[in-house]
Amino acid sequence: MTRDEVQERCRALIIGPLPPPLHGMSLATEALADHVDAISSVTRIDVGPGKARRTYHVRRIVRVAFAVVRVIVNRRRARYLYLACDGGAGMLYSLVLVAAGRIAGYEVFLHHHSYVYISHKKRLMTAIVRAGGARCHHIVACTTMARDLRDAYGPTVQARIVSVAYALPSARDRHAVSRPLRLGHLSNLSVEKGLAVAIATADALGAEMAGARLVLAGPATSPNDRALIEAAVAGGAEYWGPATEEEKHRFYSSIDVFLFPSRYRHESFGLVAWEAAAHGVPVIAFRNGCLTQEALGDGGLVLEPNDDFVDRAVGQLREWARDPALFQRASACATRAAARARDAGNRQLDELARLLAS
């Protein structure tokens, strides 16, 4: 049997949202598909809505229906089905695809990118777990997520840790702290992701340190969020707009501290916070999913969700501004934490890729 014939038989189906648009879930799915494709051939099936808003569910239903057809058609050639699992109402699409994969005889790998159905047990996820069966592999980002998933859906759930830190850039050394401080916040900009709190933190710091500035990047998700951004710009903030991968590198290199006061209920890893750390930028964030003080170490400050973010953040920023050596230590620790996370994520991804290509 030739190598091409072996690859044809060993093909895995990779199903999930693929860029564009670019966000944590699509970025991680594309990176995994590229990794597996370097070892064996894969079939990529995009079930994301693209950039559609008004026709979101119409496009998703069409793409999921098409994906089900391809799952059935490829059942004799492929052994593995990898699916990036939706959160919220999108779990219904995941349920259909998991059930189709199980009926067609695939070994199913379900990658969890949302914490919303882990922190609060959901009936749809219970149905997905049952549809996947005892042999379904549940891929999670950290040991905390694995424990919480088993607590919610039973101790027999097969949880496999693959940190999405594999999608991080290589760690970079950091320049000295700026005077005055430049604070950064990048995400799909919304109140839930921490936009208003980041602005309030910059305003509070600016009342103490003349010239301290907030730099925002990312698309606004609603008219209210756009109004917040416009008001912040009028008050002296910078707004870079949606950022490409190249622009993201420039963004992280232009700031001193990354603010991530996200209360987004789906947050599982906080990839943008780890991207900042990889650039040597200390992080101040709310604890969310796998983003914990233990994971970040001395590379920043991770607060509990009920903490006063503005007060605690300004206190930490004050210390870093007064003591550049302390800031440099935090910067170096952030770089090391991101490098460790990236190395671990790549090892875990290699193991998964070899399995999907076996």
Q: Are residues 202 and 312 part of one domain? A: yes
Q: Are residues 101 and 146 part of one domain? A: yes
Q: Are residues 134 and 231 part of one domain? A: no
Mean pLDDT, rounded, for 90-101: 96
Q: Sorting pLDDT into bands at 50, 70 and 90, what band is 239?
A: very high
Structure tokens of 277? Answer: 């750390």
Examine the pLDDT at 49 and tell me if it is beyond 60. Answer: yes
Least confident window among 2-6, 118-122, 173-177, 294-298: 2-6
pLDDT at 330 (0 to 100): 96
pTM of the model: 0.88
Specify the residue for token string 């694995």.
146
Examine the pLDDT at 346 and tell me if it is beyond 70. Answer: yes
Bridge partners of residue 117, in order along the sequence: none
Distance from C-alpha of 283 to C-alpha of 334, rounded to nearest angstrom: 8
Q: Indicate whether 167 belongs to any domain.
A: no
Please write the tens of the pLDDT for every residue from 61-78.
999 999 999 999 999 889
Cα three-residue angle 46-118-60, rounded to 5 degrees: 25
Q: Are residues 153 and 250 part of one domain? A: no
Specify the residue for token string 């219904």.
92
* Number of domains making up the chain: 2
Q: Are residues 333 and 256 part of one domain? A: yes
> Cα–Cα distances in Å, from 173 out to 27, 180, 217, 251, 328?
24, 20, 22, 15, 10
Mean pLDDT, rounded, for 162-183: 82
pLDDT at 295 (0 to 100): 94
Q: Could you tell me which residues come within 8 angstroms of residue 127 by beta carbon, excluding any fewer than 6 positions away?
A: 95
Examine the pLDDT at 10 and tell me if it is beyond 70. Answer: no
CATH number for the domain harbouring residue 87: 3.40.50.280
CATH number for the domain harbouring residue 268: 3.40.50.2000
Q: Are residues 262 and 333 part of one domain? A: yes
Examine the pLDDT at 306 and tell me if it is beyond 60. Answer: yes
Q: What is the residue range of 60's domain?
A: 3-161
Higher pLDDT, 210 or 81: 81
pLDDT more than 90, % of the chain:
77
Q: Indicate whether 349 belongs to any domain.
A: no
pLDDT at 178 (0 to 100): 65
Q: Indicate whether 7 belongs to any domain.
A: yes
Please write the tens of the pLDDT for every residue from 181-190.
999 999 999 9
